Structure 1
């Protein structure tokens, strides 16, 4: 992997950020199942929440590879905080790609500053892996849209200021920006999740919620095929790099532990089966990083195969993170099953990576179509 001087400098800044603001607190955030405002403000103060907002709109204007490095670093520190960046950026991308000039000028500067937080309102009680089954409706009444429906498992839905809601308008999918403080919007926090517990998930109820028609992104019928899918592509890219971060953290924790722990008169790292596990973790993590790097490189080139390569990277990286975290817990033994060790949290977070932004099985189904008619080289 080749990095520019700018990307290397940014990576050093990302590392410094998580060492000061994330690593000392990630375990507490996980146990308390909340992300404190101070952590979000720290992320906003660096400009990282506006990573993909164009500079002319007040953002950092990162290229895809630099954005990937940011997600890897945050994933290494806390997947819940990384998930905030993921969904916030998905909304940013939707506005930047599909919004009018007026819409972009209205929303993007506040998103770049972190003055407004975005959440991605796609999933519903009966529509998870099948977004085409959404039941939320948007009824047109003059210059107003009336929304009714329920969204579930909405990451940072508990505190988001703006919700990108996907609904059906005249039977066709649409995407609508909804301010969370509008009458008719209510949210119920979701607790007790397996992983990314500080992601402040919520169920969102919309009851006769009125929004101006100007909050509509793109034309009717483009809500899922264009707005949602392009945003989900960036979500997968973010999760893929975040998964590399989890695997990286699992490897680092295991390397430290095996150097310190002595059993049968020998350091753990000198036992052959432990060495085999460490080798596998290292190789899988590096391979995942290479796939993510390739996807980012293609995104920066606006290459038509970038979406496919992002899907491959997300599929492989999520599985690599799960294997690395599982082996890390195994290496730590009973200690690895305790909240005293970060690998316990890494394992729970890694499982979430195999489900969100397209489960492993959905990626297998879609990638099999390409595998049957294209060369992997």
Structure 2
């Protein structure tokens, strides 16, 4: 058993997590992409290393050592397989919501299994007409003598095909509210979503709630506080996506350096051509910058600073756009080979495009960042 490290999950250091990703996750990422599913054995491997509970500290009943730890875990997993990282993201969002706002009954029912990875969580917000607009939310929840009845249709539920528990947002008589619902409920049906652009292995589904009866303890937080809860949960999701984008950047950098060191063009290695050097230098610089932005958001979270919300928006916007640009350059550098399954850079490009959309699009981040800058006259956010 390794000694407790300064960073890492439980007794696993970042280096050990990286080695695990290199040995177990990355070699099968293309398979997961092509088959549009994650092998259950990999989910069990993650459970054995405590990775499903990394969003919560050990003091809170989880396996992590803070948000910097979470960033490292999601970066390394994102470097190996964005589909697997996406499952880890939505699971972390559901577990975080349960821990912060769930009833004691719900915690006793789900928390230990979610931390251990014996049950997986997913996040249900987006709808066919409303999208992610809370003001237009159509899913409904009405009170009964025994609890609630949910009706509605949710789209783009990452992990929806295999999740055991769903964090669902629906409108009540008081306003939007959050519910934690067992996915095996007979009032729930799942429709697999096929042939999406990227993160194909994340087993996305449509979820339909039809007269779905749940107990009173399914309500997460006060009735009518769904928007506030979603804001907190989405902050965790954006943080995870930002860290995962750093992983994509690092993967693109690794792939480009490896190819440029081995491929000859015009009588010289690719790395000796100045335009190739420019591509690699830009990816290397953006990788480091994105990682530092994620670390800043993590430190602010660990200290309880309200500045972490905007720091996360900035990190997500920068990392996602940088990852998409890096993946595009990586395909270009690989030439025709980059457009085939022979090399992973094509998958990086498809996955990176998804990152610019999920957990708040790049354009939404621009709106939030600009509004904050104007409101605070571009106040400098402290690093620590």
Same fold (TM over 0.5): yes
2:37 alignment counterpart: 34
- Equivalent residues, number: 373
**Do structure 1's residue 89 and structure 2's residue 92 form an aligned pair?**
yes
What is the aligned partner in structure 2 of residue 157 from structure 1? 160
How high is the TM-score relative to the length of structure 2? Answer: 0.94
Task: Measure, in 2, the Cα distance between the counterparts of 1:71 and 1:368.
Answer: 27
Alignment map for 1:143-292 (pairs within 5 Å): 143-224=146-227, 226-292=228-294
Change (3 A) 1:182 1:332: same
**Cα shift at 1:171:** 4.7
Indicate yes or no: 2:362 matched with 1:364.
no
Question: What secondary structure sits across from 1:23 in the alignment?
Answer: helix
Question: In the alignment, is the contact (CA less than 8 A) between 1:57 and 1:105 conserved in 2?
Answer: no
Tell me the C-alpha RMSD between the 2 structures.
Answer: 1.4
**Alpha carbons 1:53, 1:108 under 8 Å: kept:** no
Contact 2:134/2:176 (8 A) holds in 1:
no
CA distance in 2, matches of 1:116, 1:132: 31
Contact 1:124 1:134 in 2 (8 A): yes
Which position in structure 2 is the counterpart of 1:310?
Answer: 312
- Please state how far the C-alpha of 1:212 moved relative to its aligned partner: 0.3
- Does the residue aligned with 1:22 lie in a helix, a strand or coil? helix
Pair 1:58–1:304, CA change in 2 (3 A): closer
Q: Determine the structure 1 residue equivalent to 2:302.
A: 300
Superposed CA offset, 1:349-368 (max 9, x none)? 00000000000000111111
Q: Give the whole-Å Cα distance in 1 for the aligned partners of 2:57 and 2:37.
A: 30
Give the conservation status (yes or no) of the 8 Å contact 2:64–2:70. no
Q: Aligned equivalents of 2:101 and 2:169: distance in 1?
A: 14
User: Mind listing any 5+ residue stretches in structure 1 that lack a counterpart?
Assistant: none
Shift of 1:59: 2.3
Match of 1:67 in 2: 70
Give the CA deviation at 1:339. Answer: 1.1
Q: Measure, in 2, the Cα distance between the counterparts of 1:57 and 1:202.
A: 31
Residue 107 of structure 1 corresponds to 110
Query: Who is 1:325 aligned against?
Result: 327
Q: Which runs of 5+ in 2 are unaligned?
A: none
Question: Retained in 1: the 8 A contact 2:91–2:121?
Answer: yes
Query: Partner of 2:184: helix, strand, or coil?
Result: coil
CA offsets, 1:256-304, max 9 Å, x none? 0000000111000000100011101111111111100100011111111
Residue 116 of structure 1 is matched in structure 2 by 119
In structure 2, what is the equivalent of residue 140 of structure 1? 143
What's the offset of the Cα at 1:376?
5.2
Mapped partners of 1:374, 1:176: distance in 2: 38
Q: Give the structure-1-normalised TM-score.
A: 0.96
SS at match of 1:39: helix
